[in-house]
Amino acid sequence: MELMHIGMQHFLVVSAALFTLGVFGIFLNRRNVIIILMSVELMLLSIQVNLVTFSAHLHDLTGQVFSMFVLTVAAAEAAIGLAILVAFFRNKGSIAVEDISSLKG
Amino acid sequence: MIEALFFYVFSAVLIASALMVITARNPVHAVLFLIMAFFNAAALFVMLGAEFIAMILVIVYVGAVAVLFLFVVMMLDINFAALRVGMKKHLPVGLFVGAALFAELIWLYLSWQGSAGAAERVTMPTPDAAYITNTHALGHVLYTNYVYLFQISGLILLVAMIGAITLTLRDRAGVRRQKISEQVSRKPKDVLKIEKIATGAGVS
């Protein structure tokens, strides 16, 4: 892999690093729902980088169209996730998701 | 040469911001680093020639999603320090899983080769950027070939909106609202009374 001439593989390495950081963030911040949601956004961003990279190097617009749908779904999921978080916080007073055990028999 | 410099600068800042998102102590800082990550990803998209997606990333992700995160982080009084307990315990396993995942992805990506007939199996060929802009080309494709997906993504957004409102709207007692039907059906004889006052005498 060359260092000066930027090809597809450079962008794919960036996408892999972003995805790994997203997964790592979920591992680290298990109790913190907001950071988990942000790590999911990072993972979705890495997927968009991947799709657009392949779209650019295969000269195919499908990758960019799919990336736009990924963006749509990511925005919808962030909205719903935060609404759930706000509703949860109103009832519990904290966002430690380990405390959700009232249905436990 | 300059292109390589730009790429390395944007990628380095992008990966550094992503790292700061997951390790920040202050939640507002974490969201701000996420915003920086989105901006640098948009810059990388511009380098790839997908400027429409780059601008949409800035408008939708930074302008709506990240602002939503900021609202929630600032509205809820969250004790962040209590939530970072146990972080050191999960660090080795997380590093191992992250390293394994990264190694697998790198090995896959660096050994990727296009198949022989890939060039003629392109579904939507990207037109030459000298004749038609990226936005125009996407418009050609999105509303014709992908119209069903486009409408379904609109439906997804509608469902998300309804869901978010349903989850968080609450009725509070004692809030005064207008009842338009009562206002409109009010008659003058119910509220007005004409009195004859002698000149000079006041109203008591």
Per-residue pLDDT tens over the stretch B42-77 = 999 999 999 999 999 999 999 999 999 999 999 887
Residue B112 has pLDDT above 90, yes or no: no
pLDDT of residue A67: 96
Q: Give the start-end residues of each E strand in B66-116.
A: none
Nearest residue to A13 via CA among B174, B195, B111: B111
pLDDT of residue A48: 97
**Binary contact (B34, A41; C-beta < 8 A):** yes
Residue B163 contacts A, CB cutoff 8 Å: yes
Q: How far is the CA of B86 from the CAs of A30, A31, A36, B68, B161, in angstroms?
A: 9, 9, 15, 28, 35
Which residues of chain B have a CB within 8 Å of the CB of A17?
15, 18, 102
Distance CA A45, CA A48 (A): 5
pLDDT of residue B120: 77
Which residues of chain A have a CB within 8 Å of the CB of B97?
23-24, 27
What's this model's pTM, rounded to 2 decimal places?
0.87
> What are the phi and psi torsion angles at A45 (to 5°)?
-65, -40
Residue B23 contacts A, CB cutoff 8 Å: yes
Residue B84 has pLDDT above 80, yes or no: no
Which residues of chain B have a CB within 8 Å of the CB of A65?
124, 138, 141-142, 146, 149
pLDDT of residue A18: 96
How many of the other CB atoms lie within 10 Å of CB of B28? 13
Of residues B85 and B199, the one with the higher pLDDT is B199
pLDDT of residue B31: 95
Distance CA A40, CA A77 (A): 10
Q: What is the DSSP letter of B131?
A: T
Q: Which of A82-91, B81-90, B102-111, B119-128 has the lowest mean pLDDT?
A: B81-90
pLDDT of residue A105: 67
Please compute the mean of the pLDDT values over residues B110-127 and round it to a whole number.
80
Residue A94 has pLDDT above 80, yes or no: no
Q: Which ipTM score applies to this complex?
A: 0.92
B176 min Cα distance to partner chain A (Å): 23
Angle at A7 between CA A4 and CA A8, to 5 degrees: 150
Residue B64 contacts A, CB cutoff 8 Å: yes
Q: What is the DSSP letter of B127?
A: P
How much of chain A, in percent, has pLDDT values that exceed 90? 62
Distance CA A2, CA B157 (A): 42
pLDDT of residue B86: 67
> What are the phi and psi torsion angles at A14 (to 5°)?
-60, -40
H/E segment holding residue B204: none
Residue A85: partners with Cβ closer than 8 Å, 6 or more residues away: A33, A34, A37, A95, B72, B76
Q: How many residue pairs bridge chain A and chain B with CB atoms within 8 Å of each other?
A: 234
Q: Nearest 10 degrees: CA dihedral of A81, A87, A92, A93?
A: 90
Residue A25 has pLDDT above 70, yes or no: yes
Please compute the mean of the pLDDT values over residues B184-197 and round it to a whole number.
89
| A34-48, A83-97, B116-130: which is most confident | A34-48
Nearest residue to B7 via CA among B41, B54, B55: B41
Please compute the mean of the pLDDT values over residues B84-98 and round it to a whole number.
82
Distance CA A45, CA A19 (A): 8
Q: How far is the CA of B134 from the CAs of A71, A89, B58, B114, B196, in angstroms?
A: 17, 43, 16, 24, 78
pLDDT of residue A12: 95
**Binary contact (B161, A79; C-beta < 8 A):** yes
pLDDT of residue A13: 95
**Binary contact (B73, A34; C-beta < 8 A):** yes
Adjacent-strand bridge partners of A96: A32
Please compute the mean of the pLDDT values over residues B29-46 and round it to a whole number.
96
pLDDT band per the 50, 70, 90 thresholds, residue A5: confident
Nearest residue to A67 via CA among B110, B49, B12, B159: B49
Nearest residue to A78 via CA among A31, A45, A29: A45
Residue A96 has pLDDT above 90, yes or no: no
A104 min Cα distance to partner chain B (Å): 22
Distance CA B7, CA B69 (A): 28
